[in-house]
Amino acid sequence: MTTGTPRRTLLRAAVAGTAVTAGVTLTASSAGAAVTRPRSARPATPDQALLELSEGNKRWRTFRQQHPHETETVRQTLVTGQHPFAVVLGCIDSRVPPELAFDQGLGDLMTVRSAGEVLDEAVLGSIAYGVLELEIPLVLVLGHQSCGAVAAAVEAEETGERLPAHIQYLADQIKPAIDHSQHGDARVDATVSANVKMVQARLAAEPDLAARVSQGKLAIVGARYELTNQLVHRIA
C-alpha cells in the first residue's frame, strides 16, 4: 500500500471497485412535470435533496414514473464511483421500496433497511459511511402505515408474551416509542410516527452527524409512507 494515501480516498476506491404534518409532502414543491435530472446535477444540499425526493414521490403516486438512471451509459459510469444524494433508512416491508417510492435510479439513493427502522451498530455504521465518507447531505428516516414490526412491539407489550428468536430485540427497541395515549389500531398508527421521531432524534444525537447538521451540510428528516395513497410526508 502506498504511504500517505488518505483513508477516505481508500474507502471510496474500495467501494467503487466492488462490483411535517400528515398530508404534507416532504417539501413545498411547485414542480408538476419533473424533468429527468442529468447525472451531473446531483442535489448538493439538504433542501435540494428533499425537493428531489418530493418530486420523485409525486411521480410515483401519480403513475408518471421516469425510472431514471438505468441506461447502459449510467451503469458504466457507476463502475468507477458513486455519488448518492440521500440515505434512506426504511423498514424492510416489501411494499415500501425507497427507489420506487421516490422514483430514483442507480446511484441515487443509499438505502438502509431494518424492521421498524431499528438502529444497531451495523445500521449506524452504514448511515455514517454514507454521510461521512460519501458526503451525502440528507438522511431520511422513513416509517410507514401499518408497520408490522411496530404492531408486533405494541402487541408484545400489551400481552406480555415474548416474541420468537430475534424479533423480540426489534420489539424492545421500538417499545420506548409506544404511544399509550391511544388504543387499538390508533396506538399502532401513532407509534409508527413516534418511532420515526425517536430514531430521528437518536441519529441527530450522534456527534459526527450532529456536527454536519450544525454546519448546514446535513439534514436528518423524519417521514412516513402511506400505503393507502403512496404519499410520503414529513413528521414534525
- Return per-residue pLDDT of the chain as tens, 236 residues: 434 444 454 344 443 333 333 445 786 433 333 444 555 589 999 999 999 999 999 999 999 999 999 999 999 999 999 999 999 999 999 999 999 999 999 999 999 999 999 999 999 999 999 999 999 999 999 999 999 999 999 999 999 999 999 999 999 999 999 999 999 999 999 999 999 999 999 999 999 999 999 999 999 999 999 999 999 999 97
Residues in contact with 84: Cβ distance below 8 Å, sequence separation at least 6, in sequence order:
107, 108, 109, 110, 130, 134, 136
Q: How far apart are CA 56 and CA 68, in angstroms?
A: 10
Domain ranges of the chain: 7-21+43-234
Amino acid identity at 67: H
Q: How far apart are CA 222 and CA 42, in angstroms?
A: 22
Residue showing cell 444525537: 205
Pick the closest to residue 135 from 200, 206, 85, 81 (CA basis). Answer: 85
- The helix or strand, by DSSP H or E, that contains position 19, with its residue range, turns out to be none
Q: What is the pLDDT of residue 103?
A: 98
**Continuous H helices in 93-184:** 98-101, 121-128, 148-159, 167-174
Q: What is the pLDDT of residue 40?
A: 56
Alpha carbon distances (Å) from 208 to 2, 15, 47, 82, 83: 28, 21, 20, 22, 20
pTM for this prediction: 0.86
CATH 3.40.1050.10 assigned to domain 7-21+43-234? The reply is yes
Number of C-alpha atoms within 13 angstroms, CB side, residue 3?
Answer: 0
Q: How far apart are CA 124 and CA 201, in angstroms?
A: 13
